[in-house]
Amino acid sequence: MGRDYSQMYRERLCTAAEAVQCIEPGDWVDYALFNGKPVACDKALADRKEELEDIKIMTAVTLPPIPEVVMRDPKGEVFTYLDLQFSAASRIMQDKCDGVFYHPVNFGEAENYFSGVWDDPDKYGAVPRKAFIVRTAPMDKNGYFNFGMHNSVTYAQIKSARNVIVEVNTNIPVCLGGAREQVHISEVDYIVESENEPLFALPSVEPSEVDRKIAEHVMYHIQDGCCIQLGIGAMPNLVGKMINQTDLKDLGGNTEMLVDAYMEMWESGKMNGKRKNVDDGKITYTFALGSQELYDWMDNNSALASYNVGYVNHPLRLAGIDNLISINQALEVDLYSQVNAESSGPRQISGNGGMSDFVLGAYWSKGGRSLICLPSTYTSKDGTLHSRIVPSFAPGTITTVPRQFVNIIVTEYGWESFKATSTWVRTEKLISLAHPDFRDELIREAEKMKIWRRTNKIE
């Protein structure tokens, strides 16, 4: 018979207000990422604003509800809020509040930022955390709290924190590992039973005709037995739907972010992991963000393997997965083929996340390739059409992927490979992917930059 952990549970059970009493002025606190962000303990910490000072809080991809520590401290006088990957909520908070900042990260190496704080803090540049707070599924019979859809860096955060607080929510699915997908009660200091708030589900976004054309070009690169990584957005989910309409078979999945497309491909029989040479028979992922239907499907689903991000995203491991097709999106590309996937000038839109991990890993994969996708244009609020392929980035714009890393770029006008090409060849290829209304202007700018010759113009 297994041990009964009910007594340990009762000893650690407390209110949110009692749990956050361990936090003192000057402390650094981690909130879990994505849907792991606490709600009850966040409110309780905000309640202590008048008695605290200089509290730094770090998380990633802030999902609704907006944290109370930000709402009640818009000037950032007490709480400094650091986000590793901006979401729509993060952008709103930064626009309206003074204490919200982006925290750059290579997601695949992020566990090192936490787990190395005690043995070599100078190497990792990390700070020991006073507390880590995470929403989990209820404790199982063996004393474990499952992290649900937000594995990523959670266990590394636990190891770096002096106090571990779990906020139990019965809506969080039990997501099978993998590795580092749970914490034992013996490693937990405080247990808070929440009001079981609903989880944030991504609203469905209808793909545009441009999305459809890009997805059609992406489909050219997908063959039987490929292992697919998809990012967020209408276009990647559309790729999954298109796959279901083909005779493709034996596809595999290895992705940072699990989205609805994987559920649909698995349920249709197109994806089964049969030909994967790493984690065969499983879809490997480190976090999930999608519909409530996806979350329900994930609960105790043995087709899935939840792993820590240092495993899922490690470029060397990715390189060992045959036929890995990485599909990510960008905001704009300049004529040198540098990729911006995270900012509009100095305004942070999202973040680097694990994009560079997969760009590198997929290129080194046997039979693999990295695809970076974007619409050729966007329309501003005043109705003006703008090119997403630009001569050079505006001041303050972040280069997410340097030009030498870029493999394939896709727009609605086609795709081109950029490896082993000179600056003028890259320029020529990019202009062929641009909207026709902007091609002559791009040529003129490229001539000024001395990366274009008239004889190279594509008619």
Q: Which residues are catalytically annotated?
A: 256
For CA atoms 264, 270, 276, 282, give the dihedral sign. positive
Amino acid at residue number 146: N
Compute the distance between CA of residue 273 and CA of residue 223 in angstroms, rounded to an integer. Answer: 13
Instruction: Give the integer Cα–Cα distance in Å for 302 and 100.
Output: 39
- H or E stretch at 429: helix 423-433
Residue 308 contacts residue 151 (beta carbons within 8 Å)? yes
Q: Dig out the tokens for 317 from the structure.
A: 């491991």
Within 50-153, where are the H helices? 68-71, 88-96, 110-115, 121-124
Q: Are strands 343-344 and 347-348 parallel, antiparallel or unpaired?
A: antiparallel
* CA-wise closest residue to 152 among 114, 117, 119: 114
Element holding 287 (H helix, E strand):
strand 283-288
Q: Nearest-CA neighbor of 272 among 327, 328, 226, 219?
A: 226
User: Are 57 and 80 within 8 A, CB to CB?
Assistant: yes
Q: Which amino acid is at 63?
A: L
- Contact between 99 and 1 under an 8 Å Cβ cutoff? The reply is no
